[in-house]
Each structure stands twice: as C-alpha cells, then as structure tokens.
Amino acid sequence: MDFLILFLLYVILVLLSILFCVFSGRKHSFPSRVVAWGTQVLLCLVPARVLKPLHQLFHTRSCLFVVLNFVLEVLVYGEYSWEVFSYCRELEFHILILLLPYLLLLVNLGFFLLCSKTNPGTITKSNQALFLHVYAYDGVMFKKDTECPTCSVRKPARSKHCGVCNGCVHRFDHHCIWVNNCIGAFNMRYFLLYLLSLLAMAIAIAIITTTFLIQVVVLSNMMLGHYLDDRGQEHPVDVVFLIQHLFLTFPRIVFMLGFVVIIALILGSYFCFTLYLILTNQTSNEWFKAARCKCTCAQHCSRHSGYKNVYSRGALSNIMEIVRPLASTGKKRRALCPEYVSSYQCPPLKRK
C-alpha cells in the first residue's frame, strides 16, 4: 500500500506541475499568483550562491539538458533491452513489435538533429529585409518600426529576441533547452515531429511493458488467488495487491513503466497544446503575451477574449505555413528554405 500511495502522490505532483506551467502565463489566474508567491518565498530561502548558477544554467546555451535527455533514454532503453525484451521473447511476442521502439528511437534521433541543427530563422542586418513584410504588424504585441536594442535590427512582426541564443528569431516560439536551440519558423515542423516521435516511443514502450505484465498475471492465474492481510484475514487478490506484488517481483520494470507513463502524459499534453497553437497560427510566445496584452486598437480586440489573433487563415493554411515557412522580399510572400535565408544578402543601397 505504501508504494501505491507514493506513486499516486508522485503522479499528482507531476500533473499539478503541468497545470501550473500552463496557467502561469495568465496574469490573473490563481496558479500564476501561487507561482509568483512561491517564487518570492524561494528567493528568500535559497542562498544567492545557489540561485546564480541555476539562473545561468537556464539563460545560457548549454548541452547539459541534451546530455540529460540522452542519459534518460539510455536508462529506459537499457532496462527495456535487458529485461522486457528478453522476457517478451520467452513469451513469444512478435519480433517486429519488440523492435518498434528501436525504430522510433532512430526516427526521433533524426528529427532531434534536424531540430537542433536547423537555423530557426535568425534575423541579422544582412537578411532582415526578407522578414519585414512577411506578417502584418498588429499594433498591439508587434508594432511597426521597432528596433531590437540588443541586435540593432528592425524587428519584423512575430519575431522576438532570444536572450539565450543572443539573436532575434523569425516567428519565435520558444527556446527549447532539450534541443539546445530556438524554435522558430524554419525548425518548427521538425520540433513537432520530434515531439510526436518522442511521444510514440514512450507509448510503444509503455504498451509493450504493460502487455508483458498482464501476460505474467494471466499465465500465473494470480487473480484467482488469495492473500493474508496484517491481521491474518484472507482476501481475494485485488488491483492494489497486484501492483505491489508486481513491483516486488519486477521492481525495475514497474518503476520504468511508471516513469514512461508519466513522460507520455506530459508529452501528450504538450503535443496537443503545440498542435492547438499550430492550428490557430499562434506561437507560445504570443499565447503567453495575449493574456497580458492590453489592446489599444479596436480592430484587434475581441469582446470576449480581449486580444484577437489576426494571423490565423484557417486550419489548413496554418498547417501549410508550418510545412512551408514564409519569408519575403518586399510585399510578395513566398516559401523559403533556411539555407537560402542564411546565405541571403541585402542588396546595397543605390547612391544618388
């Protein structure tokens, strides 16, 4: 019973953390106020010499989280290969089903490399003309003729300066510490596929492992048995006793399964949120800013939501905008590859 209670508390804590992360960007929401209060308490309790390295860790480019991601995958796949794969082969599982997680791992690695190595759409003085007319300025979150004080470039609509990468990014979504790169216009499609393949990996391992444990229970006829409690009374085997018995029999497998299930829940929630942003043509940066944005122009305001998204052109067009990112020279929009953008040079000014 102790294990089950601790496991449920762990799951509840993770789910609450997800909810607080989602709603913390809403200025007047209860989670945002609790997060702000908790931050103030943390600042008072934690010494400055501890907070400073943590601040630098999250605000400078570092491969630490990439290494951590790699270590977690090695641990999960090591346990899967060492025990789950071997036991499933003895139970005559189909080999193609058992090899599916490895195939998904290769696919995930490919999208990880594309996502981390692709230029997200970094804006420089030499290529800023390509981005200035891609999106209209809404006059609320993005105002015309605004210059980035750090990069000294004219900021196109929907762009943002990333303090971690030290550059402005076209259609900036967020900086992802797990791929050590910004997510922008040119690698958003790779990031979505990276999330999807990562989610598929977790689901595949969870399903295979759960199927193995169910097979063990069925073959042993465990559900037909009885057990004695602390008072010596006999009870039929129930789900709680079954989970504890499996944990004592296969501790590493059950622990790995619990971890993978939690990761799948987190990734599934975040993938759905990212897909919603794509279908509505929003970025994470815009979604968080929309709630705090005080609209000053009536044509950009909605009676119920406060800020009206002016960039959505329908679900299909919004998806195509991710598949083929937009950039432009002048007012004519067209899809460009990131390699062309990175090599583009603005034409020299003609002297009179």
Catalogue the active-site residues: 176
User: Do 168 and 153 contact (CB within 8 A), yes or no?
Assistant: yes
Q: Quick one: CA torsion of 58, 63, 64, 67, rounded to 10 degrees?
A: 140
- Residue pointed to by tokens 């940066």: 285
- Cα(282)–Cα(259) distance, integer angstroms: 31
Tokens representing 320 are 């195509």
- Report CA-CA distances (Å) from 110 to 103, 107, 146, 198, 211: 11, 5, 37, 11, 28
User: Do 115 and 187 contact (CB within 8 A), yes or no?
Assistant: yes
Tokens representing 111 are 């999208």
- Cα(272)–Cα(275) distance, integer angstroms: 5
Q: Which residues contact 241 (CB under 8 A, 6 or more apart)?
A: 227, 235
- Cα(98)–Cα(84) distance, integer angstroms: 9
User: Do 348 and 211 contact (CB within 8 A), yes or no?
Assistant: no
- For the purposes of burial, counting CB atoms within 10 Å of the CB of 62, is it exposed (0-12), middle (13-18) or buried (19 or more)? middle
DSSP character string of 95-146: HHHHHHHHHHHHHHHHHHHHHHHS---EE-TTTGGGTTTTS---SSSS-TT-
